[in-house]
Amino acid sequence: MSLPDVIDSFGSWAWARHHNVLSWYVRPLFLIPLAVAAYRRSGWGIAATLVALTTSMFWFPAPTATDPWVAQFLAFERDWLTGDWTIGKVALTLLVPLFLTAYALAFWRRSLAWGLALLTAMMASKLMWGVLAGDGTGWAMTAPALTGLAVGYLALIAGFRHYRRQASRRSPRSPGVTAGCAPQRPRA
């Protein structure tokens, strides 16, 4: 079997599994450990999460029956991926790693507000792309996207509060020291 045949065979196998909607619900949840890894400044954690995120599309078995909306959206997505690659399509595709980098950077810099804003922007962008470019077929992603967004918000807010409480217990502040500021000199 030649390499192109192996790649085509693997692609078909993975694409059939991508029809399982469970992977659609699981994939957005990987943004939570990505945020945790970035917050902890763990390059290995970020890399492992990105590998899990990209491979999760084929973790679940191919469904015996596919919802017609899902089938329509995936047909659009496959046509889009295998069609002609224009400069606009390349630019749109580059938004994915740009968004993921900005999202990780937000948590690396410990900004919950920016992290949540980027999480919302990623979800909204993917939905808008599917709905507008896919002639409405992207509505099939609505439930998994909104579920991932809600779970993401709850987990990230709870996690941020947990880390903040832990940090405040570990390093009691001395008089004249405020969070993120240098100690104040007494006035003469």
End-to-end CA distance of the chain: give it in Å, rounded.
Answer: 83
Over residues 107-133, the mean pLDDT reads 95
State the DSSP H helix or E strand holding residue 78, giving kind and residue range, or none if neither.
helix 68-82
Is the model's pLDDT at 177 over the cut of 90? no
Structure tokens at 141: 């992603």
Predicted TM-score (pTM) above 0.75: yes
Over 90: is that where the pLDDT of 122 sits?
A: yes
pLDDT of residue 184: 58
- Does pLDDT of 176 surpass 90? no
Q: What is the pLDDT of residues 64-76, one digit of tens each?
A: 988 899 999 999 9
Q: Is the pLDDT of residue 1 over 80?
A: no
pLDDT over 70 (residue 187): no
When pLDDT is cut at 50, 70 and 90, the band that residue 41 belongs to is very high
Q: Quick check: 128 pLDDT over 60?
A: yes
35 pLDDT higher than 70: yes
Mean pLDDT over 27-53 rounds to 96
Structure tokens at 67: 């919802």
Angle between helix 112-128 and 142-170 (nearest 10): 170
Q: Does the pLDDT value for residue 43 go beyond 80?
A: yes
Tell me the average pLDDT across 93-104. Answer: 96
Residue 178 has a CB neighbour count (10 Å cut-off) of: 9
Percent of the chain clearing pLDDT 70 (strictly above): 90
* Mean pLDDT value across residues 100-124: 96
Given a contact cutoff of 8 angstroms between Cβ atoms, the answer to whether 86 and 46 are in contact is no
Q: Where are the alpha helices (DSSP H) in the chain?
A: 3-18, 21-26, 31-39, 43-55, 68-82, 87-108, 112-128, 142-170
